[in-house]
Amino acid sequence: MNKPIRKAVRCFLIKDNKVVVTKYKEDNKKAGYYEIPGGKIEEGENPEQTAIREMKEETGLKIKNLKYKGNMIIEYPDRIFDFDVFICNECEGEPQDFEENTSEWIEINELLKKEKILFIIMILDRFFIKGLIDDRCNFKMKIQADEKENILDVRYKLKEKNRKVSTGAIE
């Protein structure tokens, strides 16, 4: 079965051990879930342009000096999400409230304790964060999940400037 692939981005805005997140409001099927800002790459956009646009649309923040950090694929039984992941630590403005979501700064450790977080937030876990915040590292991650958002398998690869840092699976 050929699964549809949705190409998208996520952008981690991290400063002083805090990250900007969005939280879906009650009218959304993901109500109450925390997410990292990002969205679908539109025709004519490159991934970096999408990250900048989506951050502004979902948080009200204008970001700059983005760095590409890696790729995360989430495979469900009937579809695949393919995310290019960026990080930055410079922005203008304050997180805002929107029709579909709110946005806020939150301590990374506090976020990881939340019950309703989406898979992309796994990158902030102490096991994976080196691939995100270390300027010398990039990562690749693949998650297989069932239709109820349960993780079935996680595979990853961290690379540090032309040498492999670690690779494996998490059960």
CATH number (domain holding residue 28): 3.90.79.10
Give the per-residue pLDDT at 148: 80
Residue 48, in any domain of the structure: yes
Give the per-residue pLDDT at 27: 77
Give the per-residue pLDDT at 116: 83
Output the pTM of the full model.
Answer: 0.88
Ranges of the chain whose pLDDT falls below 50: 171
Tokens 């649309």 sit at which residue?
57
Q: What domain range is 96 assigned to?
A: 5-135
Residue 25, in any domain of the structure: yes
Cα angle at 161 between 157 and 167, to 5 degrees? 15
Give the per-residue pLDDT at 171: 46
Tokens 């400037």 sit at which residue?
161
Residue 87, in any domain of the structure: yes
What is the rounded distance in angstroms from the CA atom of residue 59 to the CA atom of residue 21? 8
Residue 50, in any domain of the structure: yes
Residue 169, in any domain of the structure: no
What is the rounded distance in angstroms from the CA atom of residue 79 to the CA atom of residue 24? 21
H or E segment and range at residue 21:
strand 18-24
What is the rounded distance in angstroms from the CA atom of residue 17 to the CA atom of residue 105? 10
Give the per-residue pLDDT at 58: 95
Residue 43, in any domain of the structure: yes
Give the per-residue pLDDT at 162: 65
Burial 122-151 (b: 16+ CB within 10 A, else e): bbbeeebbebbbeeebbbbbbbbbeeeeee
Give the per-residue pLDDT at 90: 94
Residue 12, in any domain of the structure: yes
Q: How many domains does the chain have?
A: 1
